Structure 1
Amino acid sequence: MTWSLFTVLQFFTSTFLALWNAFSLSFVNKTVILLYQQKWNDELQYENHELEESC
């Protein structure tokens, strides 16, 4: 009885951890992509601003 309970607990724990890892990974990836896009947009706007000033 105790062993089967332990097995069930272990199964749920590993499933929960796998889901948590997948969720946090996708969340981190989205955040990094958003930050990178924002930085890239800022750099583009800065370059455009410099081009306008040089003309």
Structure 2
Amino acid sequence: MRRYNIWRPVMLILVALLTKSFVFNICMVFGMDSASAENAGFIGMIVAALVMYTRMTKSRRK
């Protein structure tokens, strides 16, 4: 546990939540109903978290 970086999980959570709120707000601006916008935001959150996680682990493997 000597090389544990606390900022990686914090950044992962922050990016996921910010992406969810951004996608939700954009969908609401374009006229989606609240439930559909929430689902689209959740999908965007998952995609953003997966992309960020793979980029973090790819740089650590080298």
Unaligned stretches of 5+ residues in structure 1: 1-9, 43-55
Number of residue-to-residue matches in the alignment: 32
Normalising by structure 1, report the TM-score: 0.53
State the Cα distance separating 1:22 from its structure 2 match.
Answer: 0.3
- Aligned-residue CA RMSD in angstroms? 1.7
Structure 1 segments, 4+ long, off by >2 Å, are none
Seq. identity, %? 3
* Structure of greater relative contact order (alpha carbons < 8 Å, 6+ residues apart): 2
Q: Which has a greater percent of helix?
A: 1
Larger Rg: 1
Normalising by structure 2, report the TM-score: 0.47
Q: Secondary structure at the match of 2:33?
A: helix
